[in-house]
Amino acid sequence: MLSEKIQNAINRQINAELYSSYLYVAMAMYFESVDMSGAAKWMNSQAQEELVHADKFMKYVNERDGRVILDAIEKPAVEWKSVQNTFEAALEHERKVSSLINDLVTLAREESDHMTDNFLQWYVAEQVEEEASVGEVVRKLKLIGDSGGGRFMIDNELGQRIFNPAANSGE
């Protein structure tokens, strides 16, 4: 059974994961508005992945006889200065999520909740991948600068991303 402290912290993380999905949908809609359909597809895939993360947390809470309490989701931004700026914001967001996961691990260890600590290790590894993935896009966007051809090429590359729920669930 989860302690109240761990349950409350995980419920906050569930909200953060749902917000992440909401944010990435907003970014996808921004990309659609600036004719970057590949980037929009990439962000929509990212949004779906965040829903899988939230679902995994919810199932864990239920498996440990806890109670999932959903809260209001904060409204995300809807405008960004550029494609690069949008991905930089996504990278900053992923770094924030990494910090939240690290805080959960610290709490689980403080509470001697080894099961939760073990469960969270999947998220620790996932955040390394998340930051690396978005960071790679940011680096590529910096390389191409204002090149229309480069932007076209990276949009095509981003559009190749395919969301695979089974691969992203960690099961």
User: Rounded distance, CA 1 to CA 11, Å?
Assistant: 15
Answer whether residue 171 shows pLDDT above 60.
Answer: no
In this predicted model, what pLDDT tens digit does every residue of 150-167 receive, in sequence order?
899 999 999 998 888 766
Given this model, what pLDDT does residue 67 score? 97
In this predicted model, what pLDDT tens digit does every residue of 15-69 receive, in sequence order?
999 999 999 999 999 999 999 999 999 999 999 999 999 999 999 999 999 999 9
| Domains in the chain, CATH or no CATH each | 4-168 (1.20.1260.10)
User: Residue 118, class by beta-carbon neighbours within 10 Å (0-12 exposed, 13-18 middle, 19+ buried)?
Assistant: exposed
Are 97 and 21 in contact, with CB atoms under 8 Å apart? no
State in Å, rounded, how far the first CA of the chain is from the last one. Answer: 22
Inter-axis angle of helices 37-63 and 148-158, nearest 10: 40
- Determine the average pLDDT of the residues in 136-142: 96
What percentage of the chain's residues is helix, strand, coil (to nearest 5)? 75, 0, 25
